């Protein structure tokens, strides 16, 4: 009896002791800042799976966030008259919704000023309610499930096109390639299924016939059975909704089986990993990434260089988006001149950032406005940029189109003026840019305008230098 009681007491006491000492260890580094100048510590939570099958993407996300934080601190941003020190609190949710809720609560307890993440829609959605209840702004760089922003939580934002926007663009692209029949494969995850469904709708609307709908899992390695079936339907295109770890082997096995169809996939397969795993089979096929390519945007190439230099690793997938997400939050704080969630939340919605992945602005749901999608072709083991599609045609209202057209005109004028001043070399550059804008079509008018504008700015800068 006695022994038993003491065992209970002991186990309870251990739990208490542990629970009591746990969080206390966290704030230590914060307190150690004996700076004469008033310094405010801004805590940003970051959540991604660091264990489990998607751990490699989680690490990539974390790197993106770390880079942004380091830059912010090096820059020494001042908010509300005080020097601000940003601090990243990393949490692992193992891509498991239950753990996602626990770490979300941990971040809420820690009174973080904002949350970057989570990586997976499956953990982002349940966590978003807790952040909303606590009034903490959340910006995800990779949760693409449309539901995340449709729940009516004004704290939820994402700096990436959602599955609807991307599926639509992919459908349009497939139609443009002139394919008549398509086989769709998805991996039965929230991401893969969502994307494949939207693609299916768009493809059918564009008059493409869906001749086979097949499925796999996010743990599968063998796709020969479904590919054999697809082969028998003689589809001209295979669309895959899923991640690179399955997409690469899928493309490879298709080639081994003598399937001649083109391969098309979303951001999940637009990675170096896909090309590594797909080998030769990747060549000549297509994939899409939300936003504009790093190379086409003013800050993109610099980011790429900084990233590889800092982490000695290639960008896997979402790191640039996460990097943008951190900056979006930081800049909103700067504009609001406050690090209080309640005060700077409204400013996030007003974001206009020249990001490394896109021109970031949010619609009323917290989704990326316009949501441009860029298409890539796998060429010689690299991703070659093909074109940018407007994506969310729905999101672009008529008036905005007009505005954008006007912008293009202005920009073009500026370009023309600048170009004559610089000479032949610049002219060819500008022409290319203009060509790209023309190709992108009506839906892409806005994105095109921005591209031209950038080109114009670049030329102007060049002129100034000379």
Partner 1 sequence: MDIFLQQIVNGLVQGSIYALVALGYTMVYGIMGLINFAHGEVVMIGTLVTITVAGTLIKAGMPVAVAGLAGMMAAVLVCMALGWALERVAYRPLRNAPRLTPLITAIGMSIVLQNLAMMVWGRNYLTFPSFLPNMDFELAGAHFTAIQVIIVLVSAATMGALLLLVYRTKLGMAMRATAQNPAVASLMGVNINRVIAAAFVIGSALGAVAGVMVGAYYEIAHYQMGFMLGLKAFTAAVLGGIGNLAGAMLGGILLGIIEALGAGYIGDLTGGFLGSHYQDIFAFVVLIVVLMFKPSGLFGEKSGDRA
Partner 2 sequence: MNFGHFFRSTVGIATLAALLVALPFVAAMGGQAWVRILDFAILYVFLALGLNIVVGLAGLLDLGYIAFYAVGAYTWALLASPHFGLHWPIWAILPIGAGLACLAGVVLGSPTLKLRGDYLAIVTLGFGEIVRIFLNNLNAPINVTNGPQGITLIDPVSFGAFQFSGTTQILGFAISGPQKYYFLLVALAILVVIINLRLQNSRIGRAWQAIREDEIAAKAIGINTRNLKLLAFAMGASFGGVAGGIFAAMQGFVSPESFSLIESIMILAMVVLGGMGHIPGVILGAVLLTVLPEVLRYGVGPLQMALFGKMLADPESLRMLVFGLALVLVMRFKPAGLWPSPVRRRELQETGK
CA distance 340 to 233: 58
Residue given tokens 């692209």 in the structure block: 173
Within 10 angstroms of residue 182's Cβ, the number of other Cβ atoms is 28
Q: Which residues contact 85 (CB under 8 A, 6 or more apart)?
A: 33, 39, 40, 41, 42, 73
Backbone φ, ψ for residue 48 (5° rounding): -160, 160
Told to check if 388 binds partner 2 by CB under 8 A, we report: no
Told to check if 188 binds partner 2 by CB under 8 A, we report: yes
Q: Looking at 87, 214, 354, 429, which residue binds partner 1 (CB under 8 A)?
A: 214
Whether 252 and 227 have beta carbons less than 8 Å apart is answered as: no
CA distance 266 to 155: 27
Told to check if 105 binds partner 2 by CB under 8 A, we report: yes
Whether 288 and 266 have beta carbons less than 8 Å apart is answered as: yes
Told to check if 1 binds partner 2 by CB under 8 A, we report: yes
Which window, 8-16, 240-248, 351-359, 410-418, contacts partner 1 (CB under 8 A)? 240-248
Q: CB of residue 227 vs partner 2: minimum separation in angstroms?
A: 20
Told to check if 245 binds partner 1 by CB under 8 A, we report: yes
Q: CB of residue 343 vs partner 2: minimum separation in angstroms?
A: 22
Q: Are β-strands 82-92 and 78-79 bridged in parallel, bridged antiparallel, or unpaired?
A: antiparallel
Q: Looking at 172, 273, 324, 331, which residue binds partner 1 (CB under 8 A)?
A: 273
Whether 291 and 160 have beta carbons less than 8 Å apart is answered as: yes
Q: Looking at 213, 262, 361, 457, which residue binds partner 1 (CB under 8 A)?
A: 213
The pair of structure tokens assigned to 411 is 């920009």
204 binds, among partner 1, partner 2, none (CB under 5 to 8 A by kind): none
Q: Are β-strands 78-79 and 373-379 bridged in parallel, bridged antiparallel, or unpaired?
A: unpaired
Q: Looking at 154, 210, 215, 416, which residue binds partner 1 (CB under 8 A)?
A: 215
Beta strands in 20-113 (DSSP E): 39-48, 78-79, 82-92
* SS3 call for 290: strand
95 binds, among partner 1, partner 2, none (CB under 5 to 8 A by kind): partner 2
Binding site for partner 2 (CB under 8 A): 1, 4-5, 7-8, 11-12, 15-16, 18-20, 22-26, 50-51, 92, 95-98, 101-103, 105-106, 108-110, 122, 125-126, 129, 133, 145, 147, 151, 188-190, 192-194, 215
Binding site for partner 1 (CB under 8 A): 51-53, 55-56, 58-59, 188, 213-217, 219-222, 224-226, 228-229, 231-232, 244-245, 248-249, 252, 256-258, 273, 276-277, 279, 316
């Amino acid at each position: 009896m006695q022994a038993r009681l003491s065992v209970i007491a002991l186990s309870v006491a251990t739990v208490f002791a542990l629970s009591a000492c746990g969080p206390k260890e966290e704030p230590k580094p914060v307190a150690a800042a004996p700076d004469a100048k008033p310094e405010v510590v801004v805590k940003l939570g970051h959540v991604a799976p660091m264990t489990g099958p998607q751990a490699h993407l989680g690490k990539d996300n974390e790197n993106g966030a770390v880079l942004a934080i380091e830059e912010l601190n090096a820059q020494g941003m001042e908010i509300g008259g005080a020097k601000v020190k940003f601090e990243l609190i990393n949490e692992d949710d193992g891509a498991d919704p239950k753990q996602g809720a626990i770490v979300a609560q941990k971040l809420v307890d820690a009174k973080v000023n904002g949350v970057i993440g989570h990586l997976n829609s499956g953990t982002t959605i349940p966590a978003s309610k807790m952040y909303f209840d606590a009034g903490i702004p959340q910006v995800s760089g990779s949760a693409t499930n449309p539901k995340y922003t449709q729940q009516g939580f004004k704290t939820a934002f994402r700096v990436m096109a959602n599955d609807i926007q991307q599926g639509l663009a992919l459908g349009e692209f497939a139609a443009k390639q002139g394919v008549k029949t398509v086989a769709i494969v998805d991996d039965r995850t929230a991401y893969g299924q969502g994307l494949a469904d939207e693609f299916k709708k768009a493809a059918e609307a564009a008059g493409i016939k869906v001749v086979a709908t097949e499925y796999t899992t996010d743990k599968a390695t063998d796709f020969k059975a479904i590919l054999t079936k697809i082969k028998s339907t003689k589809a001209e295109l295979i669309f895959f909704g899923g991640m690179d770890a399955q997409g690469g082997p899928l493309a490879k096995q298709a080639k081994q089986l003598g399937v001649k169809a083109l391969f098309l996939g979303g951001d999940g397969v637009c990675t170096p990993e896909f090309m590594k795993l797909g080998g030769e089979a990747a060549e000549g096929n297509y994939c899409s990434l939300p936003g504009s390519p790093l190379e086409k945007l003013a800050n993109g190439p610099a980011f790429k260089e900084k990233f590889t230099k800092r982490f000695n690793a290639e960008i896997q997938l979402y790191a640039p988006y996460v990097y943008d997400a951190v900056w979006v939050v930081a800049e909103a704080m700067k504009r609001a001149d406050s690090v209080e969630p309640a005060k700077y939340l409204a400013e996030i919605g007003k974001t206009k950032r020249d990001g490394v992945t896109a021109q970031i602005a949010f619609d009323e749901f917290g989704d990326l406005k316009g949501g441009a999608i860029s298409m890539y072709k796998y060429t010689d083991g690299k991703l070659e940029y093909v074109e940018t599609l407007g994506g969310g045609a729905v999101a672009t209202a008529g008036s905005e189109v007009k505005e954008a057209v006007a912008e293009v005109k202005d920009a073009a004028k500026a370009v023309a003026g600048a170009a004559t001043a610089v000479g032949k070399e610049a002219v060819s550059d500008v022409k290319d840019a203009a060509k790209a804008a023309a190709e992108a079509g009506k839906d892409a008018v806005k994105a095109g305008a921005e591209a031209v504008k950038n080109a114009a700015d670049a030329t102007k800068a060049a002129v100034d230098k000379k």
